[in-house]
Amino acid sequence: MKRQNKVFLNIGLNNNDKNIEQIVSSLKQNNLFVKAGYKAKSSYKGINENTLVMFINTSLKLSKIIQVIENLCLVCNQESIATRINKNEFIIYNPTFTGEKIKFNSKYFKTV
């Protein structure tokens, strides 16, 4: 039996070039099928933002999941996407990002 990785994503929507359906479709094209999700109100450093919270169950390897999420950052014009894969927590950055990187903070992370 293949290992199943539980993936949770928090994707900011304020500066996002894509709508929710386009984001889900992009993930699906990369064999990441959204099992559950919702739009939430979030804030970070005093800035309010709508956030897409998603749960994905996949047999893809960790390295492939990270690669897909890096690409999703590019597609959605995002600096980063907060991600939890199994018990591992990441801020996955757009490969072209050159600013100061932040650490994952579970205080702000939402799950399904």
- Going by C-alpha positions, the residue among 58, 63, 51, 69 that lies closest to residue 33 is 58
| Residue 17: pLDDT over 90 | no
* pLDDT average, residue stretch 32-39: 96
**Domain spans of the chain?**
5-17+33-93
Residue-wise pLDDT for 48-107, tens only, equals: 999 999 999 999 999 999 999 999 999 999 999 999 999 999 999 999 999 999 999 998
- For residues 83 and 67, is the Cβ–Cβ distance under 8 A? no
* pLDDT average, residue stretch 19-35: 95
Q: What is the pTM of this model?
A: 0.92
* Beta-carbon count within 10 A of 31 CB: 13
pLDDT of the residue at 1:
59
pLDDT of the residue at 72:
96
